[in-house]
Amino acid sequence: MAEYKPIRKVVSGNYAAAYAAKHARVQVVAAYPITPQTSIIEKIAEFIANGEADIQYVPVESEHSAMAACIGASAAGARAFTATSAQGLALMHEMLHWASGARLPVVMVDVNRAMAPPWSVWDDQTDSLAQRDTGWMQFYAENNQEVYDGVLMAFKIAETVNLPAMVVESAFILSHTYDVVEMIPQELVDEFLPPRKPLYDLADFSQPFSVGALGGPNDYYEFRYKIAKAMEDAVKVIKDVGKEFGERFGRDYSEMIEKGYVDDADFVFMGMGSLMGTVKEAVDLLRKEGYKVGYAKVRWFRPFPKEELREIAESVKGIAVLDRNYSFGQEGILFNESKGVLYNTDARPIIKNYIVGLGGRDFTVGDVRAIAENMKKVIEAGKLDREVEWYHLKR
Amino acid sequence: MEIPENVRKRLSIPAEEHFFAGHTACQGCGASLGIRYVLKAYGRKTIFVIPACCSTIIAGPWPYTALDANLFHTAFETTGAVISGIEAALKARGIKVKGDDGVMVVGWAGDGGTADIGLQALSGFLERGHDAVYIMYDNEAYMNTGIQRSSSTPYGAWTTNTPGGKRHFLEKRHKKKVIDIVIAHEVPYAATASVAFPEDFIRKLKKARKVEGPAFIQLFAPCPTGWRSPTDKSIELARLAVQTAYFPLFEYENGKYKINMPSPKKEPKPIEEYLKLQGRFKYMTKEDIEYLQSWVLREWEKLKKLAEVFG
């Protein structure tokens, strides 16, 4: 194995995604432009135009067709990639089911953007979380480095378990913000991510076969179970690939929940994506001020890191779940999932939901401090003041 | 029945079969004949893409397939996009497509999946110029869903959501001219074909194989179940549709039009001969038939003019 010397580049989150796709040697990219995803595909098109990447680029007429074309490409044995945001992801929804049902390891970057109306192009996780039940794995990146690393790992994991994977980054906060990203030399990426070996290949004519035919009540059920099993198996694959990534390139992703100060914390902040960068900064400060707080950054939302969450719950008095998303008629989606995971355990810390930053509303270190104050009172009182709090609401 | 050697030599239809017995089409199904001819023309190195339609069922439920070729079942509106992706993947992998010995990527969709919900993906496939063949088998309604109108349903036709009744029938629109929409994309090759003229159809399939870029064939495929016609009349109906110039066979090749059948010199048969064999037109009055006749002849004159000027 060649020695790893990272190539440092100052890039936007979107360019990090584009470089990762190139380094993953994707063979087919089908995409439709939508803000703030566009610069991912523009950069890939630039690679092709400059002869830096050998990719079949299909500039489709809609996101629905983008996913359909990726599905066709993947079924025909190619490594397929696309990217989208919000309304575009919603338009793809039907085909997201098709990708997982046909067991195709398509990888997609979703640039988290709020759903309209009102029109918004800013950060919000509701678009990707609304795809929760499509059979896609979901990785939430905190920063541009994690976008790059996430895409490379997503391909390896997806192609191992034969399920599609989504790498999620925040609109503008990451997509258009420049930061140093340590990239991996191509030959080392190639060692980490060898060419794809498809589960089936439409270009193999040795024996005729069909994919996706009618499955009656006698068969359909088992097909679903196999997807459920693959998603379950993905937990180990994710941890193994994350560990391997750490051993090869120094950035360890073996934990599906990245933890900080958890062991002696009274309570932790839990959340996903770029807002956890703010939380980590705030927690460092709060610790210096004597607050016994920690953080738990959920990297993988699907499969859901149940065991790791239960372990955290055993050692803390409270969990403040920060949701940059909302499921109408219920509560924040990460909160909802987390409560469900903890119900059948003895560990029952107080768990409170803070809805923050919807539609790109700023979420600052000061906000984390205010939430910490509130959470502290809740824990001292030993009961919730309210279960869900819309933190920024103008009253 | 064994075809005598001297007869077989005269036929241009390949003898080998790549469509297995035991498929689940209705009796007299035009679409199933269509699949059979496509596979005869292209052989087993073919990737079929079939969206939600009768052919999904005809091919058979899991784990069966009636096609001696690889088949990807896809969502209703995606045929054009999926064949685009497959073609791109084959090219990315350095696998030869089309030509004499390349892999054939075939989109096989009904009129609903083409003229209606799949029109956008079809348009994208055509304008981007992918090396694949798109075949719309036209039985003029959503047959698999229970005979509802599509935009390819003709004037006067009964369907379950455009029924005929005591007062009149609901279908007042003419059939959408999908082939004209296709030609507007300046494709290298587009043609109409009919299951009643298999030699012509196979010749067109072989031509489609040779062109560079997208090819489109609109195949007229009777549906006795939906047309309320006797199951042994499908070929006769498909033939009459051509002979009455209701569905003339023609080719569009790099800007040039060529009428195959009926001959431009021949007077078309009256449309009534075609209509009277089908229960779906029984609500039409004499005036309705005259109105449809005038439309058919007007369109026929238009086509003849195109062939004359751009022949």
For tokens 């995971």, the residue is A341
Tell me which of 3.40.50.970, 3.30.470.20, 3.30.70.870, 3.90.700.10 is the CATH number of domain B18-310: 3.40.50.970
Contacts with A78 from chain B: Cβ below 8 Å: 88-89, 92-93
Three-point CA angle B207, B210, B212, nearest 5° = 120
Q: State the DSSP string of B124-176.
A: HHHHHT-S-EEEEEE-SSBTTTTSB--TTPPTT--BTTB-B-SS-BS--SPPP
Query: Do A28 and A60 form a contact (C-beta atoms < 8 A)?
Result: no
* Residues of A within an 8 Å Cβ radius of B: 27-28, 30, 54-56, 58-62, 64-66, 68-78, 80, 94-95, 98, 102, 202-205, 208-216, 219
Taking an 8 Å cut-off on Cβ atoms, the answer to whether B72 and A212 are in contact is yes
Nearest CA in chain A to B118: A65
How many whole angstroms from its chain centre is CA A350?
Answer: 26
> How far is it, in rounded angstroms, from Cα B189 to Cα B179?
11
Q: How many CA atoms lie within 13 Å of B199's alpha carbon, on the beta-carbon side?
A: 6
For tokens 């090759």, the residue is B189
Contacts with B83 from chain A: Cβ below 8 Å: 72
> How far is it, in rounded angstroms, from Cα B134 to Cα B116?
15
Nearest CA in chain A to B71: A210
Using alpha carbons, list the distances in angstroms from residue A184 to A149, A189, B70: 9, 6, 38
For tokens 């009961």, the residue is A383
Q: Is A228 left (phi over 0), alpha (psi -120 to 50) or beta?
A: alpha
Contacts with A203 from chain B: Cβ below 8 Å: 47, 70, 89-90, 93, 95, 103
> How far is it, in rounded angstroms, from Cα A195 to Cα B205?
35
Domains in chain A, please, with CATH? 7-249 (3.40.50.970), 257-390 (3.40.50.920)
Phi, psi of A157 (to 5 degrees): -65, -45
Q: Which of A75-79, A133-137, B6-10, B293-297 has the lowest mean pLDDT?
A: B6-10
- The minimal CB distance from B82 to the residues A55, A68, A219 is found for A68
Taking an 8 Å cut-off on Cβ atoms, the answer to whether B84 and A59 are in contact is no
How many whole angstroms from its chain centre is CA B162?
Answer: 22
Digit-coded pLDDT (tens) for A293-350? 999 999 999 999 999 999 999 999 999 999 999 999 999 999 999 999 999 999 899 9
Flag whether residue B96 sits within 8 Å of chain A, measured between CB atoms.
no
Q: Which helix (H) or strand (E) holds B76?
A: none
Contacts with B44 from chain A: Cβ below 8 Å: 205, 208
Query: Do B166 and B298 form a contact (C-beta atoms < 8 A)?
Result: no
> How far is it, in rounded angstroms, from Cα B144 to Cα B120?
21
Flag whether residue B25 sits within 8 Å of chain A, measured between CB atoms.
no
Flag whether residue B298 sits within 8 Å of chain A, measured between CB atoms.
no
Using alpha carbons, list the distances in angstroms from residue A101 to A95, A226, B113: 9, 10, 21
Flag whether residue B35 sits within 8 Å of chain A, measured between CB atoms.
no
Which alpha helices (H) appear in chain A, and where do they start and end? Answer: 13-23, 38-49, 63-75, 86-101, 126-129, 144-161, 186-192, 220-249, 275-288, 306-315, 333-343, 365-381
> How far is it, in rounded angstroms, from Cα A315 to Cα A313?
6
- The minimal CB distance from A213 to the residues B59, B80, B95 is found for B59
Q: Which helix (H) or strand (E) holds B216?
A: strand B215-220
Structure tokens at A313: 């719950």
Residues 6 or more apart whose Cβ sits within 8 Å of residue A225: none
Taking an 8 Å cut-off on Cβ atoms, the answer to whether B95 and A203 are in contact is yes
Taking an 8 Å cut-off on Cβ atoms, the answer to whether B69 and A208 are in contact is yes
Residue of B16, B44, B38 whose CA lies nearest to B109: B38
Q: Which helix (H) or strand (E) holds A385?
A: none
Digit-coded pLDDT (tens) for A160-184? 999 999 999 999 999 999 999 999 9
Flag whether the ipTM exceeds 0.90: yes
Instruction: For chain B, 311 residues long, give each residue's pLDDT as a single digit of tens.
Output: 677 777 766 778 999 999 999 999 999 999 999 999 999 999 999 999 999 999 999 999 999 999 999 999 999 999 999 999 999 999 999 999 999 999 999 999 999 999 999 999 999 999 999 999 999 999 999 999 999 999 999 999 999 999 998 888 899 999 999 999 999 999 999 999 999 999 999 999 999 999 999 999 999 999 999 999 999 999 999 999 999 999 999 999 999 999 999 999 999 999 999 999 999 999 999 999 999 999 999 999 999 999 999 99
- The minimal CB distance from A75 to the residues B57, B69, B86 is found for B86
Taking an 8 Å cut-off on Cβ atoms, the answer to whether B85 and A205 are in contact is no
Domains in chain B: boundaries: 18-310
Q: Which helix (H) or strand (E) holds B37?
A: helix B30-42
Nearest CA in chain B to A93: B75
> How far is it, in rounded angstroms, from Cα A111 to Cα A191?
28
Interface test with B, best of A97, A202, A224 (most B CBs within 10 A): A202
